[in-house]
């Protein structure tokens, strides 16, 4: 009886000890959960730090004074790849929400929701008018049926009553869909914070388009200007040889001038650069009258702009030559086809090269090819160690140059030069220059030029930047006539092949880089690794993979439970 009592007492002590341990563990777990709810500790264990926001982003978000509300229209039924993109957008916005202490909030909206087709189409039109670009997705099911869906991979960022659209899907036709989606994920943080930074900034920078030398008219750069207007206040005007007239502008654009510059205007631009101003030059030394091509041919003539000496002093030279490239845009041509009369075909037009963006620069990384029209090419000159030069755009591996005067005929599309003539490779068409520049008016008397006695020039610049593009038409958009007047067309879409070129993005990135004082452009250097599964193995072992994913976790739970019961019984019963 005494042994039986002792056994009962021991069992009672074991139960008490077990319950005590359970209560202690439960209390510790609850306390840990409560404490962790007050802590903002997040650890990113990914190799490419894809869940970590950059220091500039944290700094901008921490200074937000008002709430930012983001409406994301990537929702509803869609392909798995776009669901993955949606998850990446949500994860990025979650990080924004945390870093901003709740000032950034968001919602996902299905643009295809609606009672009927009329309501849905009205919503589509409203989103397009706000600046979001829809895409058509053709999906094929297991039975081979094809369905078409419209999705809007974009968002509207709202701040203090101002709405700005952001289209975050990369649509480069020269890379795979998987790479396009990866590039879209890489650029999410940059695209969102660039807009948020501009909206919440106390200072709105100003950018000026220079006039007075037959530059591209306002209607022909309307689409590029609208892209800039998201970030800057845009002005246009003549400088009239007035020193200091440009000092209030963060950057100036010289876009496609056709007449030579006066020395007094060159001095104004030079001293603006010396005082830390930023300049984007879009110039070409050969004049081609494209309108004459409507009659079948035109003439290319050398046309100096009197800027050669100034640019040479800064470290570049635009060569008065026209580039021809095998990798070029195709244009429609009517050709005679025997008894069938004329037939419309698409032929390569070697004067419209598809320029390659450099993957080494934050300006052009992951950018679509840029369409050029009768472009020149650039040489670097001098060995000034204070100037860093970076190629932004270049031709393909198969290009050549021709010299003016030159007769250009549409017949060349039907009978292009022999392939062995295209022996030039990667000719620079655009350059970024950064550093301290020397004045083009150094050691010169400028009193008469400046119109001011005793005028003193600055001979060496503050740290500055400039971008030179050897194509004055790079940002020229088409114009349609209508009853209400001229209507600008989107910039550089290929209406024949459906491809979208990167001209507008390149131009906007250039100005953002020149003006950037937050270090935001560094975000474009972010690189994520594409880790794809072997589709052939997945297709071959589909059933086995499904069974493993379904059954193995269940078996592991059952085996763990049996093992736990066995060890517990052995410990307390000795059996």
Q: How far is CA 11 from CA 8, 153, 452, in A?
A: 5, 65, 106
Tokens of 482: 């209508």
Residue 45 in domain: no
Residues 432 and 475 in one domain: yes
d(CA 298, CA 289): 6
Tokens of residue 389, six digits: 């030069």
In angstroms, the CA 269 to CA 458 distance is 12
Tell whether 47 is covered by a domain: no
At residue 490, the pLDDT reads 87
CA–CA dist 492, 128 (Å, integer):
19
CA separation, residue 281 to residues 249, 450, 469 (Å): 15, 22, 6
Q: Which of 168, 199, 230 is the last residue in one of the domains?
A: 199
Please, what's the largest Cα pairwise distance for the chain? 124
3-state secondary structure of 570: helix
Q: Is residue 573 part of a domain?
A: yes
Give the rounded distance of the alpha carbon of 172 from its chain centre: 11
- Position 468 scores a pLDDT of 97
Q: Which domain holds residue 16?
A: 1-39
pLDDT at 12: 66
Region label for 344, one of left (φ > 0), alpha (ψ between -120 and 50) or beta (otherwise): beta
Domain boundary residue, one of 453, 482, 501? 501
What CA–CA distances, in Å, run from 444 to 30, 348, 369, 458, 461? 79, 49, 42, 12, 16
The stretches of 100-139 forming alpha helices (DSSP H) are 117-130
- Please report, for residues 65, 227, 289, 337, 347, the alpha-carbon distance to residue 491 in angstroms, rounded to integers and kept in the order given: 36, 10, 20, 34, 22
Residue 225 covered by a domain: no
For residues 76 and 134, state if they share a domain: yes
> Do 279 and 416 fall into the same domain?
yes
Same domain flag for 178 and 65: yes
Tell me if 364 is assigned to some domain.
yes
Strand extents, DSSP E, 382-541: 387-394, 399-402, 406-409, 428-435, 464-469, 479-482, 485-488
In a domain, 221, yes or no: no
d(CA 256, CA 575): 93
Domain containing residue 113: CATH number: 3.40.30
Domain presence at residue 234: no
What's the domain count of the chain?
4
- 102 and 155 housed in the same domain: yes
Q: Which residues of the chain have pLDDT under 50?
A: 44-45, 48
Q: How far is CA 289 from CA 23, 297, 553, in A?
A: 87, 9, 71
Are residue 260 and residue 365 in the same domain, yes or no? yes
Give me the pLDDT at residue 118, please: 85
How confident is the model at residue 42, as a pLDDT? 56
**Predicted local confidence at residue 378, as pLDDT:** 96
d(CA 207, CA 194): 17
Instruction: Verify that 482 and 366 share a domain, yes or no.
Output: yes
Q: Provide the pLDDT for residue 434.
A: 95
Which pLDDT value is given to residue 29? 77
Task: At 500, give phi and psi (nearest 5°).
Answer: -110, 125
Q: For 66-110, how does the pLDDT look when each residue is reduced to its tens digit (9 = 90+)?
A: 999 999 998 888 888 888 889 999 999 999 999 898 999 999 999
pLDDT at 45: 45
Question: What pLDDT is stored for residue 391 in this prediction?
Answer: 96
Number of H helices, E strands in the chain: 13, 25
- Do 380 and 423 belong to one domain? yes
475 and 559 share one domain: no
Asked whether residue 35 falls in the same domain as residue 59, the answer is: no
478, part of any domain: yes
265: left (phi over 0), alpha (psi -120 to 50) or beta: alpha
Q: Clarify whether residues 261 and 378 are in a common domain.
A: yes
Do residue 17 and residue 165 come from a single domain? no
Domain boundary among 459, 480, 501: 501
Determine the Cα angle at 12 with ends 10 and 17, to 5°.
Answer: 95
113 Cβ neighbours under 8 A, 6+ residues apart: 76, 120
Q: What is the pLDDT of residues 329-352, one digit of tens each?
A: 988 887 765 555 567 788 899 999
């Amino acid at each position: 009886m005494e042994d039986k009592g002792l056994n009962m007492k021991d069992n009672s002590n074991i139960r008490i000890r077990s319950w005590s341990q359970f209560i202690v563990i439960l209390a510790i777990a609850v306390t840990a959960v409560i404490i962790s709810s007050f802590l903002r500790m997040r650890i990113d264990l990914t190799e490419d730090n894809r869940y970590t926001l950059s220091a500039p982003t944290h700094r901008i978000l921490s200074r937000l004074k008002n709430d930012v509300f983001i409406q994301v229209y990537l929702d509803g039924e869609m392909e798995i790849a776009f669901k993955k993109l949606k998850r990446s957008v949500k994860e990025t916005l979650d990080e924004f929400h945390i870093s901003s202490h709740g000032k950034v909030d968001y919602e996902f909206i299905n643009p295809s929701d609606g009672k009927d087709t009329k309501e849905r189409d009205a919503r589509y039109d409203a989103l397009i008018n706000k600046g979001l670009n829809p895409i058509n997705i053709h999906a094929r099911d297991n039975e081979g049926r094809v369905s078409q869906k419209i999705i809007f991979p974009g968002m509207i960022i709202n701040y203090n009553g101002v709405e700005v659209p952001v289209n975050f899907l990369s649509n480069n036709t020269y890379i795979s869909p998987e790479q396009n989606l990866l590039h879209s994920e890489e650029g999410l943080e940059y695209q969102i914070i660039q807009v948020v930074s501009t909206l919440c900034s106390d200072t709105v920078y100003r950018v000026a388009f220079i006039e007075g030398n037959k530059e591209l008219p306002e209607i022909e750069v309307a689409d590029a200007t609208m892209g800039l207007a998201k970030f800057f206040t845009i002005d246009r005007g003549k400088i009239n040889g007035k020193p200091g007239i440009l000092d209030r502008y963060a950057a100036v654009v010289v876009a496609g001038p056709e007449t030579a510059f006066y020395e007094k205007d060159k001095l104004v631009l030079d001293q603006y650069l010396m005082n830390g101003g930023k300049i984007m030059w879009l110039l070409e030394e050969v004049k081609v009258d494209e309108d004459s091509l409507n009659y079948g041919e035109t003439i290319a003539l050398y046309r100096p702009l009197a800027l050669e000496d100034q640019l040479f002093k800064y470290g570049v030279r635009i060569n008065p030559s026209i580039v021809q490239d095998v990798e070029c845009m195709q244009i429609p041509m009517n050709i005679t086809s025997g008894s069938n009369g004329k037939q419309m075909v698409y032929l390569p037009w070697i004067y419209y090269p598809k320029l390659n963006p450099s993957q080494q620069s934050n300006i052009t990384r992951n950018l679509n090819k840029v369409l050029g029209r009768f472009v020149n090419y650039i040489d670097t000159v001098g060995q000034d160690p204070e100037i860093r030069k970076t190629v932004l755009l270049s031709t393909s591996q198969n290009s050549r140059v021709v010299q003016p005067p030159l007769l250009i005929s549409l017949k060349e599309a039907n009978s292009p030069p022999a392939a062995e003539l295209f022996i030039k490779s990667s000719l620079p068409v655009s350059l970024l220059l950064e550093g301290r520049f020397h004045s083009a008016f150094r050691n010169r008397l400028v009193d008469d030029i400046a119109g001011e006695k005793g005028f003193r020039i600055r001979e060496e610049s503050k740290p500055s930047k400039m971008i030179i593009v050897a194509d004055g038409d790079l940002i020229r958009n088409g114009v349609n006539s209508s009853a209400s007047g001229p209507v600008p067309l989107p910039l550089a879409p290929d209406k024949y092949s459906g491809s979208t070129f990167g001209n507008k993005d390149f131009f906007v990135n250039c100005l953002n880089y020149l003006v950037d004082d937050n270090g935001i452009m560094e975000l474009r250097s972010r690189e994520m690794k594409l880790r794809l599964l072997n589709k052939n193995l997945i297709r071959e072992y589909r059933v086995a993979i499904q069974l493993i994913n379904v059954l193995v976790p269940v078996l592991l739970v059952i085996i763990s439970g049996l093992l736990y019961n066995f060890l517990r019984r052995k410990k307390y019963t000795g059996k």
